[in-house]
Amino acid sequence: MADSADIFAKCRDWTAAREARAARTYPYYRPLTESGGGAEGVVDGRRVVIAASNDYLALASDPRVVEAGGAALRRFGTSCSGSRLLNGTLALHERLEGELAAFLRQPAALVTTTGFQANLALACLLGRGDLLLLDQHSHASLLDAARLGQARHLRFRHNDRADLARLLGASGTGTGSAAGTGAWVRGGRMAVTEGLFSMGGDLADLPGLAATLAEAAPARLVVDGAHDIGLLGEHGRGAAELLGAEGSVDLITGTFSKCFGSVGGFLAGPEEVIDYLRHRGRSVLFSAAAPPAAVGAALAALGIVRAEPERRRRVLALSACLHRLLRELGWDTGSSLMPVVPVHVGDDAACLRLWQGLFDAGVFANAILPPAVPPGRAMIRLSVTAAHTERHLAVIADAFATQARTAVPRARASLPALPR
Ligand SMILES: Cc1ncc(COP(=O)(O)O)c(C=O)c1O
């Protein structure tokens, strides 16, 4: 059999992971064997400061959240054993939806099993003849929704409202053709962005994007608040609250796996849209419901997010401090001061060596390589949580101080499209 005829041949030919393991610079699937409240732990036999978790508000180990998860587990068992549509809806799911909708000041909410699935559900809104416009740095789940939907999709340059306007202008509604496609856009238009970008740590220009969309009305704005709902804004309603753009966001997606110390996802918005997603979103219909423990934990976490704004303030102060420490050492941590702290490296191999150096120095970080970032834009991603102390930040900074800095390509404005 010719090798190209074997569908598994690509797996044999793909050597990157094997090479990194052989070079002892493989950063992935490292097991955590002991957890010390979120900020410290034992990873692969080494005691480390954990700077790789999205548990920004340190709720995954909060005794109230753990107890609520345990109570739901004891009461309803380990699994819902079916989809929300059929047998998998618990009163707990409905309670969480009600409380979440109230928290986000939205008419309705839908709880899904993961945030990835919440985003995939958007595909059911994307009919033939519609146009989806995605920020170039959008999460893989948003891009996968675009691929699953029937609409044409185009990516606008990262956070670039002028580029969004260009694509909208070229597409028209019933009168123009989608840029570069020649296809007529007969239906509706929707733009999607993240609120706080998961890799770059920068904020979406929600007011600018919203103003651009308003000029092309009716065009909808969907914001994935995975990293900012719970964290940003006076009340924790996310980037849209922080930027005064809540009135311009038509639909919200998010996750319980970051600021809510659990696992699960959600969509929130107009009643009829949520009801449609509930009955048409394939990732909702054809997958088992979020398990009781996860829903119970998320409910307790939501209560804490509302009641304890000081957690947000603490993590934001700590993250500004870490940015400052690293910048003083000469590292490029991007343009924001958010708890998502990108340390731009550039070269993949240099990034893996840096990751290993940090690990050996007692810091567990994330190594982010293409396709999660464009080629040549490898980076270490650190995240700060409310469980960190100034001592932890000093350990992280000391670890970086011992590592050789790598040249960073700075031509951010002309980044190629993300090949995800
Ligand atoms: C921006 C963004 N959206 C969605 C998701 C998916 O969330 P979940 O972990 O709940 O599947 C993630 C998680 O990586 C994310 O970063």
Catalytic residue (one of 53, 54, 141, 336): 54
Cα of 61 from ligand 1 centre, angstroms: 20
Of 370 and 69, more confident: 69
Catalytic residue (one of 194, 205, 228, 332): 194
How high does pLDDT run on average in the chain?
92
- Say how far residue 189 (Cα) sits from the centre of its chain: 23
User: Is 139 a known active-site residue?
Assistant: yes
Q: How confident is the model at residue 1 (pLDDT cuts 50, 70, 90)?
A: low
User: Is 159 a known active-site residue?
Assistant: no
Say if ligand 1 is within 6 A of residue 225 CB. Answer: no
DSSP letters of 344-391?
EEESHHHHHHHHHHHHHTTEE-EEE-TTSS-TT-EEEEEE--TT--HH
Q: What is the pLDDT of residue 173?
A: 57
DSSP letters of 301-343?
HHHHHHH-HHHHHHHHHHHHHHHHHHHHTT----S--SSEEEE
pLDDT reading at 412 higher than 70 = no
Cα of 121 from ligand 1 centre, angstroms: 13
Cα of 255 from ligand 1 centre, angstroms: 6
Cα of 192 from ligand 1 centre, angstroms: 14
> Which residue type occupies 139?
H
Mutate to test the pocket of ligand 1, among 116, 144, 260, 283 (most ligand atoms within 8 A of CB): 116
Mean pLDDT along residues 172-193: 67
Say if ligand 1 is within 6 A of residue 163 CB. Answer: no
Cα of 115 from ligand 1 centre, angstroms: 5
In a 10 Å sphere around its CB, with 0-12 CB exposed, 13-18 middle and 19+ buried, how is residue 361 labelled? middle
Q: What is the pLDDT of residue 420?
A: 34
User: Beta strand 251-255 with 265-269: parallel, antiparallel or unpaired?
Assistant: antiparallel
User: Beta strand 366-368 with 265-269: parallel, antiparallel or unpaired?
Assistant: unpaired
pLDDT reading at 415 higher than 50 = no
Mutate to test the pocket of ligand 1, among 53, 134, 141 (most ligand atoms within 8 A of CB): 141
At CA 369, angle to CA 340 and CA 13, rounded to 5?
155
The residues near 181 (Cβ < 8 Å, ≥ 6 apart) are 152, 154
Mean pLDDT along residues 131-148: 97
In a 10 Å sphere around its CB, with 0-12 CB exposed, 13-18 middle and 19+ buried, how is residue 347 labelled? middle
pLDDT reading at 110 higher than 90 = yes
Q: Which ranges in 189-238 belong to alpha helices (H)? A: 206-215
pLDDT digits (tens, 9 = 90+) for 228-252: 999 999 999 999 999 999 999 999 9
| 295/293 Cα distance (integer angstroms) | 6
Domains of the chain (ranges, CATH numbers)? 16-50+309-408 (3.90.1150.10), 63-307 (3.40.640.10)
Q: How confident is the model at residue 175 (pLDDT cuts 50, 70, 90)?
A: very low
pLDDT reading at 411 higher than 50 = no
Catalytic residue (one of 227, 323, 344, 392): 227
Mutate to test the pocket of ligand 1, among 117, 120, 139, 232 (most ligand atoms within 8 A of CB): 139
pLDDT digits (tens, 9 = 90+) for 144-161: 999 999 999 999 999 999
Nearest to 301 by CA among 247, 336, 345, 264: 264
Mean pLDDT along residues 390-403: 96
pLDDT reading at 195 higher than 90 = yes
- DSSP, collapsed to helix, strand or coil, labels residue 332 as coil
* pLDDT over 90, % of the chain: 86
Cα of 177 from ligand 1 centre, angstroms: 32
Q: How confident is the model at residue 217 (pLDDT cuts 50, 70, 90)?
A: confident
297 and 76 Cβ atoms separated by less than 8 Å = no
User: Is 258 a known active-site residue?
Assistant: yes
Say if ligand 1 is within 6 A of residue 194 CB. Answer: yes
- DSSP, collapsed to helix, strand or coil, labels residue 113 as coil
User: Beta strand 340-346 with 378-383: parallel, antiparallel or unpaired?
Assistant: antiparallel
Out of 17-31, 152-166, 190-204, 230-244, least confident range: 17-31
Nearest to 382 by CA among 45, 56, 42: 56
Neighbours of 314 (CB within 10 A): 18
> Which residue type occupies 241?
E
Say if ligand 1 is within 6 A of residue 171 CB. Answer: no
Say if ligand 1 is within 6 A of residue 403 CB. Answer: no
Nearest to 158 by CA among 391, 419, 420, 413: 413
Q: Would residue 54 be called left, alpha or beta, if left means φ above 0 and alpha means ψ between -120 and 50 degrees?
A: alpha
Continuous segment of H or E residues that includes residue 88: none
Mean pLDDT along residues 23-40: 90
| 249/220 Cα distance (integer angstroms) | 8
Cα of 325 from ligand 1 centre, angstroms: 28
Mean pLDDT along residues 305-309: 98
Measure the N-to-C terminal CA separation of the chain; round to a whole number of Å. Answer: 31
Q: What's the DSSP call for residue 177?
A: B
What are the tokens at 8? 């598994």
Nearest to 263 by CA among 55, 42, 39, 28: 55
Q: What is the pLDDT of residue 4?
A: 74
* Closest atom, ligand 1, to C-alpha of 257: 10
3-state SS, 155-174, equals: EECCCCHHHHHHHHHHHCCC
pLDDT digits (tens, 9 = 90+) for 265-286: 999 999 999 999 999 999 999 9
List, in sequence order, every residue forming a beta bridge with 341; answer none if it has no partner. 382
* Closest atom, ligand 1, to C-alpha of 117: 11
Q: How confident is the model at residue 184 (pLDDT cuts 50, 70, 90)?
A: low
